[in-house]
Amino acid sequence: MSCSLSAVKICAKIAGRELFRDFSLSLAHKQKLALLAPNGRGKSTLLMILAGLLPASSGQIFIFDDEMKSLKDFEKHRSKIGFLFQDSNEQFVRASVLDDVGFGLLSFELCASKDEADKKALKMLESLGISHLKDKICFHLSGGEKKLVALAGVLITEPKIVFLDEPTAGLDESSSARLAEILGSIDASMLIASHDKDFISKITSNICELE
Ligand SMILES: Nc1ncnc2c1ncn2[C@@H]1O[C@H](COP(=O)(O)OP(=O)(O)O)[C@@H](O)[C@H]1O
Ligand SMILES: [Mg+2]
């Protein structure tokens, strides 16, 4: 099977302190892989490194077999890489739900007009069962609603690799269950950082522990 992402002997230092050393993983095409570790171990840092949002101190990262030698190399794959931040408020770039969800289409020039972006955004909201939120203000939503709107904004560009950082943080049981159901139905490769073993068990049995 071809790999969407491979990381070889990644080392990370934050503020001069070594966080992890020689960490390697492979994410196969359409595979869902959970990255489990307790809080503070370095999951968010690792996800950001693998997504090209932070530099590693050493090691190699391959996206679709193409080596990323610097953060700049990620740019050509940017529209194919989605990142769902732990805090949905960090994800929103527009006030209204419809504008926010369609934003990626316009910023990556995947749509010719705002009208077309709106139509696709509405379709995406419908597919996640949240079209009733389209005219709401992102910051007025509940935690569970915010998470699904943020996910809609990530999925709209049809990314091939999606990084999810603690997707159930702050969600109640029913929102977590709905999110697990949605993620299970998505056909992208996924790396999901979590310490929520129950949630992960609903999505995948592929687990990688950050020791
Ligand atoms: N920008 C930063 N400056 C200093 N320390 C940081 C920074 N980002 C993360 N850390 C520290 O690095 C460690 C790992 O953080 P993080 O990657 O957020 O872990 P996790 O996601 O597993 O909870 C923590 O001790 C955290 O305080
Ligand atoms: Mg974290």
88, 107, 5: which is closest to 51 by C-alpha?
5
The rounded distance, in Å, linking the Cα atoms of 211 and 188 is 26
Q: For the packed helices 97-107 and 143-155, what is the interaxial angle rounded to 10 degrees?
A: 20
Domain boundaries, the chain: 31-55+77-209
Of all ligands present, the nearest one to the C-alpha of 167 is 2
Q: How would you classify the pairing of strands 189-194 and 161-165? A: parallel
Distance of CA 85 from the midpoint of ligand 2 (Å): 9
pLDDT tens string 58-96: 999 999 999 999 999 999 999 999 999 999 999 999 999
Provide the pLDDT confidence category of residue 210 given band limits of 50, 70 and 90: confident
**Is the Cβ atom of 176 under 6 angstroms away from ligand 1?**
no
For the chain, what percent of residues have pLDDT higher than 90? 93
Distance of CA 35 from the midpoint of ligand 2 (Å): 11
Distance of CA 44 from the midpoint of ligand 1 (Å): 7
**47 CA closest ligand 1 atom index:** 17
CB 142 within 8 A of CB 150: no
**Is the Cβ atom of 17 under 6 angstroms away from ligand 1?**
no
From atom 2 of ligand 1, which residue's Cα is the shortest distance away? Answer: 14
Q: How much is the average pLDDT of 111-133? A: 97
Neighbours of ion ligand 2 (CB under 5 A): 43-44
Q: What pLDDT is recorded for position 1?
A: 53
**Is the Cβ atom of 175 under 6 angstroms away from ligand 1?**
no
CB 208 within 8 A of CB 25: yes
| pTM for the model | 0.96
Q: Is the pLDDT of residue 193 over 70?
A: yes
Q: Quote the tokens at residue 104.
A: 């990626």
pLDDT tens string 18-69: 999 999 999 999 999 999 998 899 999 999 999 999 999 999 999 999 999 9
CA angle 179, 177, 1 (to 5 degrees): 55
Q: Which fold, 31-55+77-209? A: Rossmann fold (3.40.50)
**Is the Cβ atom of 16 under 6 angstroms away from ligand 1?**
no
